[in-house]
Amino acid sequence: MARVISVEAERFPIAGTFTISRGSKTEAEVITCTISEGDYTGRGECVPYKRYGETMDGVRAAIEAMRGQISAGIDRTALLGAMPAGAARNAIDCALWDLEAKIGGKAVADVVWPAPLHQLETAYTLSLGEPEAMAAQARANAARPLLKVKIGGDNDIARIRAVRQAAPDSRIILDANEGWNDDTVAANLAFAAEQGIALIEQPLPAGHDGILRHIAHPVPICADESVHEAGDLAALAGLYDAVNIKLDKSGGLTAALVLRDRARELGFGVMVGCMVGTSLAMAPAVLLAQDADFVDLDGPLLLARDRVPGLAYEGSLVSPPDPALWG
């Protein structure tokens, strides 16, 4: 029986404004891919990301271009060779996982994580702003055990100090989004260590981070924009201590599992992160993150409206997805 694919662009309002070093947005723009076979339907969601040259129209067109191969029954392994890593492949890959689970009557979790699933402690993200505004965000969320703080400007030491004073008991991840440079990185790292920061994400632009091989890492440094697939890892040895795996970068759960396992083999710490999307995008990542060192799957917590049904969050704890959502 031929498979039928549909592609839809959707928008979900963000609660307020989400700001990083590259700009601000007030809504999550996502592409949803639905693949049906007979009475069974699988779904996958992706978030096109401008930093990687992706647009809503471009990602939608890339998915549509696979219509013939999907109708003919392409599987997830063949998909890896048929499309490059990125958001479009992620949406198709996750839809195929969901469809396979429904047709076979076997949950995705039973395939990728045979042990009992458990709740995960996710980071909660604070948007970039002036130190006083970031301190107010931190103070309002100081009861959360793990905060992810967007930085990446000329005043980052003041921002770090303000957030730490406002949330003295929280573990903190700093995400510079490539916003530091060779002149600021060492001093910022040293100050972050003084403040007890747990992890720093992508302090320098991808491809312009060679100095990390020659300076101290008083705080572990995590690659984000510098790593997409398993093939990227060898070049990161000596530069980074951990990698942030996102399904939209790796191009789906299938490739992300390979990336996670290879990262472990090479001695990297593992963080599982997300773009700002809905629970449908987070659901497969919750399975991927069952043994992660850091989890950043707070996308739905940043939205004013999520999908129904969505993931269940209790404070900063996120539960595995219900099959009615995905998998």
Q: Which residues are catalytic?
A: 150, 246
How many helices (H) and strands (E) would you count in the chain? Answer: 11, 14
DSSP character for 231? G
- Alpha carbons 45 and 126: distance in angstroms, whole number: 24
Residue keyed to tokens 């990542």? 285
- DSSP assignments along 234-246, one per residue: GGGBTTBSEEEE-
Count the Cβ atoms, other than its own, within 10 Å of residue 305.
Answer: 15
Residue keyed to tokens 């390979």? 258
Residue 8: which of 91, 72, 89 has the closest Cα?
Answer: 91
Cβ contact 140:117 at 8 Å: no
Residues in contact with 183: Cβ distance below 8 Å, sequence separation at least 6, in sequence order = none
The strand pairing partners of 318, in sequence order, are 120, 313
- Alpha carbons 141 and 120: distance in angstroms, whole number: 18
